[in-house]
């Protein structure tokens, strides 16, 4: 056996090993789950509509509040809060959140007992169902 044929055999063996390794690496399951949870998808939909309809539109009913977005918090509970407009660090007056792998959105806080509570509830229910309209008649 000559040195050239041994080099050729070694090259073929190396190429075959790399080919086999590349086939096997594609069949492994990903170690990290991919995609968004149902809670995050639902909250993104609701938070986008809330911002558009309550704040970007300059709705006078929400002039005294500002939105604190916490969709990507580390606790796994995507949420947003309404706090007093001039006191971002104050206790939230409204919490809108979803938990885990559920698309159910929970809404609570002092504003829900206020005159604005029924409107907030109707808006959140509409947005959660996939209707991004700012009012029930739209």
Tens of pLDDT, residue by residue over 7-55, are 445 444 444 444 444 454 444 444 445 467 888 888 999 999 999 999 9
pLDDT of residue 9: 53
pLDDT of residue 104: 87
Polymer length in residues for the chain: 138
Rounded-to-integer distance, Cα 14 and Cα 12, Å: 5
pLDDT of residue 103: 80
pLDDT of residue 59: 96
**Helices 38-50, 117-128: crossing angle, 10 deg rounding:** 130
Q: pTM of whole model > 0.85?
A: no
pLDDT digits (tens, 9 = 90+) for 44-101: 999 999 999 999 999 999 999 999 998 887 677 899 999 999 998 899 999 999 987 7
Q: What are φ and ψ of residue 89, in 5° steps?
A: -90, 5
DSSP string, 43-98: HHHHHHHHIIIIIITT-GGGTTEEEEEETT-TTS--EEEEEETT-TTSPPSEEEEE
User: Token pair of 104, please?
Assistant: 């159910």
pLDDT of residue 27: 44
**Cβ contacts of residue 20 below 8 Å, gap of 6+?**
none
Rounded-to-integer distance, Cα 33 and Cα 67, Å: 30
pLDDT of residue 106: 93
């Amino acid at each position: 056996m000559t040195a050239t044929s041994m080099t050729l055999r070694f090259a073929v063996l190396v190429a075959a090993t790399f080919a086999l390794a590349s086939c096997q690496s594609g069949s492994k399951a990903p170690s990290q789950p991919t995609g968004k949870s149902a809670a995050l998808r639902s909250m993104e939909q609701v938070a986008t509509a809330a911002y558009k309809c309550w704040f970007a539109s300059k709705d006078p009913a929400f002039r005294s509040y500002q939105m604190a977005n916490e969709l990507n918090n580390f606790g796994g509970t995507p949420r947003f809060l309404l706090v007093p407009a001039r006191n971002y660090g104050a206790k939230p007056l409204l919490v809108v959140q979803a938990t885990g792998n559920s698309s159910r959105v929970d809404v609570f806080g002092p504003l829900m007992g206020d005159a604005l509570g029924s409107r907030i509830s109707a808006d959140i229910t509409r947005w959660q169902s996939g209707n991004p309209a700012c009012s029930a008649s739209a």
